[in-house]
Amino acid sequence: MKRFSTSFGVVKAVESANFQVRRGEIFGLVGESGSGKSTIGFMVVGIYKPTSGKIEFNGKDISMPARKRSKELKREMQIVFQDPASSLNPTKSVADIVALPLRTHKICNSKEEERTRVEELLDTVELPPQDFVLRRPRDLGGGERQAVAIARAIATKPSFIVLDEPTSALDVSIQAKILKVLVKLQRELNMSYLFITHDLSLMRNVASRVAVMYLGKIFEHAPTHVFFQNSQHPYTRMLLSSAPVLTEEEEALKPKEVKSTGEIPSSINPPPGCSFHTRCPFVMGICKTKEPKSVMTESEHYVACWLFVK
């Protein structure tokens, strides 16, 4: 759980979020703005410290801020932020930005080895080194900036990367290129991704499992093909039924339309019971007073909804 104190009270940004990212997989975490998905990513890499609960990595508790984590752990876990313009130092060259983690972790033994490694990393993210090493972030397009951020993230050869909406700030044509690079790197380097996004259709194509969040809680998670073909939580079905599609085949896979009413409640004063009950067309009395536990409805498919609690 992660709480934030405000002048209005305590906000539970994340609560009841239990999931596991397996080695070498892309796990998709989907939710609307304010659902708490980025907060989870920031806790995983140590930017935030959870107020309760536990985060484990390779069986070890890492529920502490980044400053208290070992250098070995920091090498293993990296993050790519949503906005590359604000995540890159505007006063540094591309070469210096990509070389920073190499220097911090003393990965290279000489300037020549560092220069060679930087050029390799830029090649890996499809940026010709001869054209980019001396440029600064202000001289780059959005997609090029994000490619530099990705090169920096993989410099330490991490096994796990948090991708916090890495394509949402980019033009559609550039999104496809960056996504292609990310998927290629994940497969070649056998990395694990926690891929945070609000774009459900994106997850259909890249993730092996998907979880959907609402007001700081995970309502449903399942293998991707099950998630899209047999979604069960009313909120998930509402999202999927309203998502735009391009083909008749995709249209046929959409669940029957689920209409919700009202607006998303305030995270400062969430409703009791199931936090979706104020908008759910299937609401029952128990939904208004008791929060449902997550139950397994089929293999690896978990749903937190009273419709499925026996």
Model confidence pLDDT, tens digit, residues 201-213: 889 889 999 999 9
Residue 10 has pLDDT above 70, yes or no: no
171 has a pLDDT exceeding 90: no
Over residues 165-182, mean pLDDT: 89
Give yes or no for residue 157 having a pLDDT over 80.
yes
Q: Which residue from 224, 155, 165, 220 is spatially nearest to 191, judged by alpha carbons?
A: 155
Asked if residue 7 has pLDDT above 50, the reply is no
52/2 Cα distance (integer angstroms) = 7
In the predicted model, what is the mean pLDDT of residues 233-244?
Answer: 84
In terms of Cα–Cα distance, which of 2, 6, 34, 27 is closest to 15?
Answer: 2
| CA-to-CA dists, residue 172 to 95, 158, 176, 177, angstroms | 27, 28, 7, 9
Q: CA-CA-CA-CA torsion for 141, 172, 23, 18, nearest 10 degrees?
A: 110
Return the DSSP state at 215. T
Which structure tokens are listed for 278?
């104020």
pLDDT of residue 309: 86
What is the rounded average pLDDT for all residues in the chain? Answer: 90
Percent of the chain with pLDDT over 70: 91
Q: Is 262 left (phi over 0), alpha (psi -120 to 50) or beta?
A: left
Instruction: Give pLDDT tens digits for 37-47.
Output: 999 999 999 99
Residue 68 has pLDDT above 70, yes or no: yes
Burial of 70 (0-12, 13-18, 19+ CB in 10 A): exposed
From CA 153, how far away is CA 5, in angstroms rounded? 31
Each residue's pLDDT tens digit, 248-280: 666 666 666 677 677 788 778 888 999 999 999
